[in-house]
């Protein structure tokens, strides 16, 4: 286990450096933030501001300075908010994580029973209907789902607020929008996994002992069938965080995604770099947790 953790920590460092380099390169190729900060100033005044912000140094020098400061948790001050960038990102991160976790919970709450039903009653009308839902769900983009739900439930029926965050009613539409993106995938994985294990020897033995079908499915078959979905959740968590960026923009949720989108428009380098770095750390940490959880669920797997 210790060797596994050491390797993962080294991979964690490599991933963070790679993400930082890519983000840094793309941002500095996108334009000059000083031109947005001082749109009508003289070039001499802009040059002084670039010097003060450290933007006049060579890109290699800027990147080395950024990595050194980031190692100490200092991502600089926001060009527009005039506050430490990392603090702004951390303050909004709980909202983004809450939205993502709520979306995962809603997706599993729908996908698990539907996937089990689709596997147990294979080739029935319900199974075919679930398959159609899978195809539709995987083909619809997040922002389109959000706009359609907003028009239906907020504008047409006036049941839920159009935007915002903090009350349960304001959380419903963003969470459903984000969860609808990954629910079909979870349904498909659970159905496939259940079909693989539902007729194995240990399941037939449980039935032969006289256990009810409900206990056989939930206690014996579902645990092994859940192994692939645990892995998929870890892999999809990063996509859900990326989807949260669009969802937060559509519903005006005050999370990291909306903050990063606004910072990209303003070329606010410190906020974008801090936000992307923190999101990368969370994704790598979640994947590490999933690997350890996989070993717990499947004792035949060993970490080497």
For the chain, domains (ranges, CATH) are 85-297 (1.10.3720.10)
Cα 239 off chain centre by: 5
User: Among the listed ranges 44-48, 232-236, 257-261, which one has the minimum average pLDDT value?
Assistant: 232-236
C-alpha distances in Å from residue 42, one per residue of 30, 35, 47, 218: 21, 10, 9, 71
Among the listed residues 172, 125, 117, the one whose alpha carbon sits nearest the alpha carbon of residue 149:
172
**pLDDT value at residue 249:** 86
| pTM summary value | 0.85
Structure tokens at 238: 């990063």
**pLDDT value at residue 185:** 86
CA pair distance 205, 199, nearest whole angstrom = 10
How would residue 3 be classed by pLDDT, with cut points 50, 70 and 90? confident
**Given a cut of 80, is residue 4 above it in pLDDT?**
no
Q: Give mean pLDDT, residues 78-96.
A: 92
CA pair distance 176, 142, nearest whole angstrom = 10
End-to-end Cα, the chain, rounded Å: 7
* 3-state secondary structure at position 156: helix
Q: What are phi and psi of 73, to 5 degrees?
A: 85, 15
Q: What are phi and psi of 187, to 5 degrees?
A: -60, -45
**Given a cut of 60, is residue 257 above it in pLDDT?**
yes
DSSP 163: S
**Given a cut of 70, is residue 264 above it in pLDDT?**
yes
**Given a cut of 90, is residue 56 above it in pLDDT?**
no
Residue pointed to by tokens 């990209």? 264
**Given a cut of 90, is residue 300 above it in pLDDT?**
no
Structure tokens at 218: 């939930």
CB burial of residue 182 (10 Å; 0-12, 13-18, 19+) = buried
């Amino acid at each position: 286990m210790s060797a596994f953790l050491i390797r993962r920590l080294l991979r964690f460092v490599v991933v963070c450096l790679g993400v930082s380099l890519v983000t840094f390169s793309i941002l500095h190729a996108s334009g000059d933030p000083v031109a947005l900060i001082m749109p009508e100033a003289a070039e001499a005044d802009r040059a002084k501001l670039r010097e003060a912000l450290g933007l006049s140094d060579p890109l290699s020098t800027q990147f080395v300075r950024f990595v050194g400061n980031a190692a100490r948790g200092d991502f600089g001050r926001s060009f527009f908010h005039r506050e430490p960038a990392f603090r702004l990102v951390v303050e909004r991160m709980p909202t983004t994580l809450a939205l993502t976790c709520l979306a995962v919970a809603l997706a599993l709450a729908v996908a698990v029973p539907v996937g089990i039903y689709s596997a147990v009653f294979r080739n029935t009308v319900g199974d075919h209907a679930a398959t159609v839902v899978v195809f539709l769900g995987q083909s619809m983009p997040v922002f389109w789902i959000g706009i359609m739900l907003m028009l239906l439930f907020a504008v047409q029926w006036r049941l839920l607020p159009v935007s915002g965050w903090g009350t349960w009613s304001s959380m419903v539409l963003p969470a459903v929008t984000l969860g609808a993106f990954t629910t079909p995938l979870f349904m498909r994985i659970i159905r496939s996994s259940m079909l693989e294990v539902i007729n194995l020897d240990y399941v037939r033995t449980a039935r032969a002992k006289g256990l009810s079908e409900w206990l056989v499915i939930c206690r014996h078959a579902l645990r092994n069938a859940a192994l692939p979905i645990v892995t998929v959740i870890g892999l999809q968590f990063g996509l859900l965080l990326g989807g949260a960026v669009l969802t937060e923009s559509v519903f005006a949720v005050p999370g990291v995604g909306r903050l990063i989108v606004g910072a990209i428009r303003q070329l606010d380098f410190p906020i974008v770099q801090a936000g992307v770095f923190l999101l990368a750390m969370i994704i790598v940490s979640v994947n590490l947790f999933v690997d350890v959880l996989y070993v717990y669920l499947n004792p035949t797997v060993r970490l080497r």
